[in-house]
């Protein structure tokens, strides 16, 4: 859910549950753990574990995926909305 637009940045509240597909962006991406716990798996780098209040910025062009073993919420900004073809998205428009 988009919360605010400031200049070219969009602040989003995202629900994380399970593993998001691997992807990368041409812009840095920031996560602030709002509630719960999750990890950011970065290709060929150390895993980053986040809990409430933790902040991490993923540098542009680094392949990554958020993973939450239990539902968690994060504030996210710094890249275009995530639209990845998955079976769950297939029926989104009807």
Cβ neighbours around 93 below 10 Å, total: 5
Q: Is-contact 31 50, C-beta < 8 A?
A: yes
pLDDT in tens, 49-89: 999 999 999 999 999 999 999 999 999 987 665 544 443 33
What domains can be seen in the chain, in order of their start residue?
2-82 (2.60.120.10)
Q: Residue 4 and residue 9: Cα distance in Å, rounded?
A: 8
- Region 37-46: mean pLDDT is 96
pTM metric for this prediction: 0.78
Q: Residue 93 and residue 33: Cα distance in Å, rounded?
A: 30
Residue 50 burial (CB < 10 Å; 0-12/13-18/19+)? buried
């Amino acid at each position: 859910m988009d919360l605010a637009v400031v200049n070219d940045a969009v602040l989003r509240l995202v629900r994380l549950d399970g593993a998001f597909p691997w992807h990368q962006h041409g812009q840095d991406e920031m996560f602030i753990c709002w509630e719960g716990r999750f990890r950011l798996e970065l290709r060929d780098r150390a895993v980053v574990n986040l809990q409430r209040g933790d902040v991490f910025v993923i540098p542009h062009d680094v392949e990554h995926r958020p993973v939450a073993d239990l539902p968690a919420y994060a504030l996210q900004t710094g890249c275009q909305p995530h639209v990845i073809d998955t079976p769950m998205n297939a029926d989104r428009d009807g």
